[in-house]
Amino acid sequence: MIGILSAFGAATSWTYACFIWRSQTQKYKSIDINLTKNIIAFLVFIPAFINLSSATELRYIFILLFSGMIGIGLGDTFYLKSLQMIGTRKTLSLETLSPLMAALSGEIFINENLTSKSWIGIIIVSISLFIILKTGNDFKEVNSSFSEKNNFKIYAFPFLSVLCAVLGGLFSRIVFLQSDLSPFLTTEIRLLGAIFFLITLKRFKINFFINNIEKSQQKRFLLSIFFGTNIGILLQQIVFKTLPIGIGWALLSTSPVISLFFAKNEEKEITKKIIFFTCFLFFGLSLIIL
């Protein structure tokens, strides 16, 4: 039950954060936003290193650092770029592929064999997300600089984001299966890996732009980091520790549904079709959970 609740909590906190981060993508580069949020989140969770023991095998630390580089460093940068292009709900909706990708990776690489009922539930979730995404394409995104002719180009970034996130999650799951490291500590190590990667990519030129944000927006931005990065990744790590990656990712992929609460800020309306397939998605989730 803790894993299920953590998944829904992570999806909610991440969606809320993405909604706020998107407003910053209109002013600052995606890589700068990602680096800034990771540095602040890392400093908040720095007490986690108290639990780092000298007996901890270095290979687990390196795996987690690599997981952070791929899943948070690359994945979140692609994610934020996608937010800038196509908006919160459409970006999150490309998680159409993530439950299937995660389930297949778990079965192929770490022998996590799911039941037939779970597979049916994952497929239903994926189909529902696909329909929600397809329906969402009928809307015109505010401030979008890309037309429908650019579909392949604009969805390259969210697809790469999903791919990187699944790989990062898979490496985390491997560590949890082979060690007794806590989700709190693994979150901090993954953040450190992402920071190293992004700073190197930026050639150590850090644009710590938070001081340039209007004071009225600074609190919202800091709150989004706490919920989206600190709490979001911590809850995500709990999911990877307690649930098979395919099942965990199917629950985490409810972000597009949660983003419907923000839809009126970005798009025209929520159609009956979206509502129907949202209910269908929850039916799929019930097959996975029950």
Residue carrying structure tokens 């180009």 = 153
Residue carrying structure tokens 């650019």 = 150
Residue 142: predicted pLDDT = 45
Residues of the chain short of pLDDT 50, as ranges, are 137-148
Residue 88: predicted pLDDT = 63
Q: What percent of the chain has pLDDT over 70?
A: 86
Domain ranges of the chain: 2-289
Residue 199: predicted pLDDT = 94
Of 34, 22, 10, which Cα lies nearest the Cα of 194? 34
Residue carrying structure tokens 């023991």 = 53
Measured in degrees and rounded to the nearest 5, phi and psi for residue 224 equal -65, -35
Rounded to whole angstroms, the maximal C-alpha distance in the chain is: 56
Q: For residue 172, what are its two tokens?
A: 């985390």
User: In 147-182, which residue ranges form alpha helices assigned H by DSSP?
Assistant: 151-154, 156-178
Residue 214: predicted pLDDT = 79
HSE-CB at 217 with a 13 A cutoff on CA atoms is 14
Q: What's the pTM?
A: 0.85
Residue carrying structure tokens 């540095």 = 39
Q: For residue 93, what are its two tokens?
A: 């909706």
Residue 189: predicted pLDDT = 95
